[in-house]
């Protein structure tokens, strides 16, 4: 099942819409700024965050503001066929995995608030939040392809949101020595963002050439789930399956490989495992990542990368006509999806 991307929406530290965000990511407009938060050493925390939002807008409230803006933009720009009479839109949202300040029920609450704030007539039974961190967007895409394959909706709006601009989150990651600072040189730079793509299972004549989602899947890194050293088996298998999904091009390099690597050693080690096992797929391939360009946007990373790739297809800066995006959550969840541009059949 292929799904045509018919519209984009985004909010990020480098843009207040999808196009600004995509070009901001491309050019790496990374400008970390001081926040009102302090780490457990008492030092000010630097962060890549959206200056258009008030500094007293934190956590879940900030996520709602980010995601609602991105969803409104996506809906306003969608030029696909109008919904059939009585047909409600399916909205799928990736969210952070449970952490201080965000528990297991907050994903559903954020989704409901985002839908209300953006005035989308969403189907409550089929709209779902995936609160598993980075990999959540891949889970949402896989669900979207199932929904479209079954003819259950004319369009599915798929997105993700996250922010580290929250005292509870800062305290959590700081106490684990994971936030980049003068003391923690292998930490990540906290960020935030939200993005949505509109997907349709039929050709949309008026849609820009944002490409297609051709495959999406998720898996569990069992060694992480068992508390054992991460051997990257799930991440390796997902990249291999993503490459195989390209049919006649299965054995050739993937062309454009994007992932959620940041400065943290465990993520770099996992990526090295994958590269060592599947080096043949990464030869002459453009390697790309988000965190070094605009900061680690957490669960929003996959959606922001989807917007970046889609705009790349439409604007011509994409280095290849196929992109594979790999997503790695803090927990055992791993995800990947494949996008292609140029073929609208």
pLDDT single digits (tens) 61-73:
999 999 999 999 9
- 10 Å Cβ neighbour count for 272? 12
CA 309, chain centre distance (Å): 11
Do residues 223 and 99 share a domain? no
Of residues 241, 247, 208, 245, the one with CA closest to residue 344: 208
Which pLDDT value is given to residue 86? 62
Give the helix/strand (H/E) hosting 308: helix 301-315
Select from 200, 234, 262 the last residue of a domain. Answer: 200
pLDDT, position 228: 87
Q: What is the pLDDT of residue 204?
A: 53
- Tell me the torsion sign for CA atoms 76, 341, 158, 297: negative
- Burial tier of 26 (Cβ tally within 10 Å: 0-12, 13-18, 19+): middle
**Are 45 and 169 in a shared domain?**
yes
Residue 232 domain-assigned (yes or no): yes
pLDDT value, residue 227: 86
Query: Which residue ranges of the chain lie beneath pLDDT 70?
Result: 80-86, 202-208, 342-345
* Whether residues 310 and 250 fall in one domain: yes
Number of structural domains the chain divides into: 2
How far, in Å, CA of 130 to CA of 107, rounded?
Answer: 7
pLDDT of residue 340: 95
At 205 the pLDDT is 54
- Residue 76 burial (CB count, 10 A): 10
Let me know whether 221 and 103 are in one domain. Answer: no
Residues 125, 194, 337, 210, CA torsion sign: positive
State residue 87's pLDDT score: 75
* pLDDT value for 336: 98
Q: What is the per-residue pLDDT for 118? A: 96
Note whether 124 and 273 are same-domain residues.
no
Task: Report residue 218: phi and psi, to 5°.
Answer: -140, 165
Supply the pLDDT for residue 153.
Answer: 73
- Read off the CATH number of the domain in which 124 is found: 3.40.47.10
**What is the CB neighbour count within 10 angstroms for residue 265?**
9
Tell the residue number behind the tokens 């409600």, with chain if given. Answer: 88
322 in the same domain as 268: yes
Residue 236 lies in a domain: yes
Is 207 part of a structural domain of the chain? Answer: no
Domain C-terminal end among 169, 200, 231:
200
Q: What per-residue confidence (pLDDT) applies to 134?
A: 98
State the pTM of this model: 0.96
Return the pLDDT at 79: 72
Six-digit token pair at 191? 């960020």
Whether 22 is covered by a domain: the verdict is yes
Closest of 172, 87, 86 to residue 133, by C-alpha: 172
107 and 69 in a common domain: yes
Q: Would you say residue 205 lies in a domain?
A: no
Statement to judge: residues 161 and 271 lie in one domain? no
- CB count within 10 Å of CB 34 equals 9
Q: In this structure, are residues 287 and 275 in contact, taking their beta carbons and an 8 Å threshold?
A: no
Given the DSSP bridges, would you call strands 156-163 and 90-95 parallel, antiparallel or unpaired? Answer: parallel
Structure tokens at 220: 């569990």
3-state secondary structure of 325: strand
- Is 86 part of a structural domain of the chain? yes
| Cβ-based neighbour number of residue 312 at 10 Å | 24
Same domain assignment for residues 182 and 227:
no
Do 138 and 50 lie in one domain? The reply is yes
Q: Is 33 exposed, middle or buried (0-12, 13-18, 19+ CB in 10 A)?
A: exposed
Within-domain flag for 169: yes
DSSP conformation class of 246: T
In a domain, 345, yes or no: no
Do 195 and 217 reside in the same domain of the chain?
A: no
Residues 193 and 49 in one domain: yes
- Domain termination residue (choose one: 143, 168, 200): 200
Buried b / exposed e over 156-189, threshold 16 CB at 10 Å, is bbbbbbbbbbbbebbbbbbeeebbbbeebeebbb
Strands across the sheet containing 322-328: 128-131, 90-95, 156-163, 192-200, 3-11, 212-220, 333-340, 322-328, 256-259, 286-289
Counting beta carbons within 10 angstroms of the beta carbon of residue 55, is it exposed (0 to 12), middle (13 to 18) or buried (19 or more)?
exposed
Per the structure, the complete domain to which residue 152 belongs is given by 3-200
């Amino acid at each position: 099942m292929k799904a045509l991307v018919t519209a984009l929406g985004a909010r990020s530290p480098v843009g207040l819409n999808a196009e600004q965000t995509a070009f901001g990511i491309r050019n790496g407009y990374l400008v970390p700024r001081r926040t009102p938060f302090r780490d457990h050493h008492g030092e000010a925390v630097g962060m890549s965050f959206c200056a258009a939002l008030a500094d007293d807008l934190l956590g879940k409230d900030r996520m709602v503001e980010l995601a609602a803006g991105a969803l409104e933009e996506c809906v306003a720009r969608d030029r696909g066929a109008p919904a059939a009479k009585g047909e409600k839109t399916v909205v799928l949202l990736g969210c952070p995995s449970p952490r201080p300040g965000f528990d297991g029920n907050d994903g559903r609450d954020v989704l409901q608030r985002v839908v209300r704030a953006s005035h989308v007539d969403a189907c409550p039974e089929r709209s779902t939040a995936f609160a598993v961190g980075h990999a959540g967007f891949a889970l949402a895409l896989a669900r979207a392809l199932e929904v479209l394959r079954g003819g259950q909706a004319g369009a599915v709006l798929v997105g993700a949101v996250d922010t580290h601009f929250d005292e509870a989150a800062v305290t959590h990651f700081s106490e684990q020595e994971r936030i980049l600072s003068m003391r923690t040189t292998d930490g990540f730079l906290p960020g935030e963002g939200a993005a949505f793509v509109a997907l349709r299972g039929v050709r949309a004549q008026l849609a820009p050439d944002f490409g297609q989602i051709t495959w999406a899947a998720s898996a569990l890194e069992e060694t992480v789930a068992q508390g054992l050293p991460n051997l990257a088996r799930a991440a390796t298998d997902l990249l291999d399956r993503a490459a195989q999904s390209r049919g006649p091009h299965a054995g050739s390099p993937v062309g454009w490989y994007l992932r959620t690597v940041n400065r943290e050693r465990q993520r770099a080690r996992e990526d090295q495992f994958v590269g060592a096992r599947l080096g043949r797929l990464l030869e002459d391939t453009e390697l790309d990542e988000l965190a070094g360009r605009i900061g680690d946007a957490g669960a929003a990373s996959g959606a922001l990368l989807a917007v970046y790739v889609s705009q790349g297809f439409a604007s011509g800066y994409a280095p290849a006509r196929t992109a594979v995006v790999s997503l790695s959550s803090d927990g055992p969840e791993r995800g990947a999806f494949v996008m292609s541009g140029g073929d609208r059949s």
